[in-house]
Chains A and B, each alone.
Chain A
């Protein structure tokens, strides 16, 4: 059984790579040559339910992502729609996708401040209110801005998505997880009218912010909890070392694919002591195995 899922995953992943490589910003070498992008990125991911997954640009199940640039800033971001809304007849992916799409629009039109990624998230969140179509739900989100002139990344994180920055095999900087309690991350929400009291909702201003000086060759992994809950740090780092200083988008794409596939396999491995299961044990819950979830991997290297 396990085997077959992994195999399906592999087969599908091949199909997805081909599709996805078109989506990723730097898969087309022509684009790179023309713009001398300073952040070389690739994307890979899997929806939890492969059977009835939507294949939309920028979405894996309820996860969503974007990459965009404006002048001397490269911006990448992921968001994870909170699945519980499905019980209310609300598509959780719509919220996260709208959030990321709007971030992309805001960045592309220069309506953001490089040093304030939290402001970008906040603006994108408030834009949800400006849509005629009422979009309800909630989502975690993590956005990274690289300022190419100052070689600084500015980050904002709400909830349990996150990033690690790896330099020569060492984690030099990482996001802090924001949880209310176990398995309940901070989240941006728009509850249905009248339900505001029953729904956890954190203000976009409550995002965890940081800035960090990057160096040439640094590897940035931005991913949703589907990755961090299933792949132990050591495994991640082993993979990330491989693209240290790498500028070839194809190689970066390869590692992004490996990490996504690894997360996917471990998520469905019932006997694996995943980081999620360990966490659960620390919280007094007897658990083992991976945590099946949507998976989004955004991998980037800094080229200065």
Chain B
């Protein structure tokens, strides 16, 4: 491996007066992400794989050297543990489920971001840059795409900003994808000096830049650093105008027209009477359909609108996750006055760069937390022990708590959660919870229905946890053990006492080895199972799976990935006898032939049969 420096710069100017030096960088480090397929103790399928030069491109397929996220499609939302978003009217047209924060060596004015996608491309929906003041600036936004099976360098035309940056965030929406998406690398091209002309504050037209990019691309190609399909990388200004700018322009004119219409209406002589004559209750009802941003705009219209738009009844649910890029402590403070009846709060992804501190959150909970039943703090850097203790102290009615990837909560924080007695949903994915605090929480939560302990690496004995669940949590509906290595057949067997279990994820629980009769006990004890993930349990055989076909007629999703001994016989049984089956993953099951999968897809069109593959282009 030749270790070139990550930064390569090209002087693409000819002797003209405007020298522009483009700097090309691959990712130096990953400083945050919302989920990954792999485990933190491994280098396979993990977020870190996006660093450096492309390692697989243009190979296409399911490779361990790529960054893979935890979910795809709608399967996880459809499962019993699926969580609907709060304040759904605030969700824009473009939603996202995951993000990754990428650090580059040198701060530059962004010119181009190229994402190397090596499996199921099309999930990137937003690209952000953190400016020198640590504020997030949107570089690009677009709908997710379905482009079929082809490796590609996704390289949208981005907004120019007046600040250098070395930190990018990508947002992903995989809900439309057939299978996991995989990303190999991200190339960031930028300039040391702004391309924006300082006098006019205008970006030079694309016509001026295009020839230079052409040169840059040709130099890259000559040096054979990587292959950008030229038709993708050289912006064709007309196509680009039609694809990106024209709709944007139309949208903006339309919005402007709407604003004009609206503002016309606000002038008393032209008929605000229509709104004025509506009773408060009706206006409130209408406001209930507005997004949070619209409500804030309405609050600035008139005194009456202000009073109505800040009415606490409109703020029983609050979703700041969709506004993560602008959620600050000031915003939180101003909202706290309206949130006296707040029941559901989603602060996930919010408050990086200390825009929200744990103190701010504690103050907010002190003021608005007493009615809270649902709280999501996924990937919140400010969430620490103090926050956990405050929540435990104040939110006695809390039913749902999401702490995914909250790495600042430690033993004492988790221990305090044991004083919550009404928990029904607890998401601890990739947290550092230990055995003791988790057991304490489980014992004090008799109503617990859903628990996610995926990739919790600190739990020394998952068997102990499984036994605790079986003893104290009889209402359990879903449990996720993804990538926890200490679960053995003993723990699996214990779960048969959870008679209401509908969803079980044992993916990559490599400690299970040869399951013995534990899966038989499970199948006979948990007959309402709807989702069963057994990914990479190499030791399971057809005999271990028979009981599920026999006893669990409700099965909808079954994942058998990497089961080396699993034959097509058992797959056919799943397909024919589990009438509710919708998903069957037989990727990397060596005994199952591709032709059989193709046949099943034809004969069982109501079942989505998944089959991953690896296609080498590099020799």
Contact = CB atoms under 8 A, between A and B. Distances in A.
Interface of A: 25, 28, 31, 35, 67-69, 102, 104-106, 108-109, 111, 126-127, 129-134, 136, 192-194
B48 interface: yes
Contacts of A193: 514, 538-541, 564-565
B43 A127 contact: yes
Contacts of B614: 133
B587 A109 contact: no
Contacts of A106: 43
30 contacts: A25-B2, A31-B2, A104-B1, A106-B43, A108-B52, A109-B48, A111-B43, A127-B42, A129-B510, A130-B38, A130-B42, A130-B44, A130-B45, A130-B64, A130-B508, A131-B64, A132-B45, A132-B535, A132-B561, A132-B587, A133-B588, A133-B614, A134-B536, A134-B590, A136-B564, A192-B565, A193-B541, A194-B514, A194-B539, A194-B541
A105 B65 contact: yes
Contact of B562 (A35, A109, A126, A132): A132
Nearest to B485: A129
Contact of A108 (B1, B38, B541, B561): B1
Given A105-B43, A127-B44, A132 B62 contact: yes
Contacts of B42: 126-127, 130
- Most chain A CB within 10 A, of B43, B539, B562, B590, is at B43
- Most chain B CB within 10 A, of A108, A130, A194, is at A130
Contacts of A136: 564
B562 A134 contact: yes
Given A130-B42, A132-B64, A133-B614, A108 B3 contact: yes
Contacts of B587: 132
- Most chain B CB within 10 A, of A109, A129, A133, is at A133
Given A102-B43, A111-B43, A132-B562, 6 more contacts: A25-B1, A106-B43, A130-B38, A130-B508, A133-B588, A194-B541
Interface string B17-54: 00000000000000000000011001111001001100
A106 B39 CA distance: 15
Contacts of A28: 2
A69 B3 CA distance: 8
B291 interface: no
Interface in B495-541: 508, 510, 514, 535-536, 538-541
Contacts of A131: 44, 64
Nearest to B42: A130
Interface in B1-16: 1-3
Contacts, number: 72
A104 B514 CA distance: 31
Given A109-B43, A130-B39, A35 B3 contact: yes
A162 B536 CA distance: 34
Contacts of B562: 132-134
Interface string B398-440: 0000000000000000000000000000000000000000000
Interface in B121-135: none
A102 B39 CA distance: 16
Contacts of B565: 192-194
| Nearest 9 pairs of A and B residues by beta carbon | A130-B44, A193-B539, A130-B42, A134-B564, A132-B588, A131-B64, A193-B538, A132-B562, A133-B588
Nearest to B587: A132
B240 to A, nearest CB: 37
- Most chain A CB within 10 A, of B1, B42, B540, is at B1
Contacts of B51: 109
Nearest to B48: A109
A91 B64 CA distance: 19
Contacts of B38: 130
B612 interface: yes
Contacts of B540: 193
Contacts of B45: 130, 132
- Most chain A CB within 10 A, of B44, B48, B562, B612, is at B44
A81 B200 CA distance: 66
A129 B52 CA distance: 24
A193 B539 CA distance: 5
B54 to A, nearest CB: 13
Nearest to A98: B64
Nearest to A134: B564
Contacts of A129: 510
A132 B564 contact: no
B43 A132 contact: no
- Most chain B CB within 10 A, of A104, A105, A126, A192, is at A105
